[in-house]
Amino acid sequence: MSNTPCTSTVEHGLPPANHPTAVLVDVRTGGHPDEGFDRVVFDFRDNTSTPGFSVGYVPEVIEDPKGTPLPMLPGAKLLVTMRWAAAHENGAPTIPVGDRDLRPGLPQIRQVKLAGDFEGHLSFGIAVGGEEPVSFRAYSLSGARIVVDIAHAGHSPWYCGEVFFCDNHKVDANIDPPVTAVERRLDKPAVAGAALRALFEGPTESERGRGLRFVDSHATGFTDLRVDADRVAHVLLLGPINSDGSAVITIAGEIMPTLKQFPTVDWVKIYDEHGVTQHPTGQRDSIPVQLEP
Confidence (pLDDT) at 48? 66
For 5-56, write each residue's pLDDT tens digit: 799 999 887 766 767 889 999 999 999 999 999 999 999 997 667 899 999 9
Average pLDDT over all residues of the chain: 94
Q: What angle do CA 20, 201, 155 make, to 5 degrees?
A: 100
Dihedral angle over CA of 102, 103, 106, 109, nearest 10: 70
Q: Which fold has domain 10-151?
A: Immunoglobulin-like (2.60.40)
Asked whether the beta carbons of 176 and 167 are under 8 A apart, the reply is no
Q: What contacts 215, CB < 8 A, 6 or more positions away?
A: 166, 246, 249, 250, 251, 253, 254
Asked whether the beta carbons of 112 and 55 are under 8 A apart, the reply is no
Confidence (pLDDT) at 1? 41
pLDDT category of residue 100 using cuts at 50, 70 and 90: very high
User: What is each CA distance from 265 to 196, 268, 269, 275, in whole angstroms?
Assistant: 14, 7, 11, 20
For 166-191, write each residue's pLDDT tens digit: 999 999 999 999 999 999 999 888 99
For 185-218, write each residue's pLDDT tens digit: 998 889 999 999 999 999 988 899 999 999 999 9
What percent of the chain is modeled with pLDDT above 90?
85
Q: Where are the domains of the chain?
A: 10-151, 158-291
Confidence (pLDDT) at 4? 59
User: What is each CA distance from 36 to 154, 156, 183, 240, in whole angstroms?
Assistant: 9, 7, 21, 42
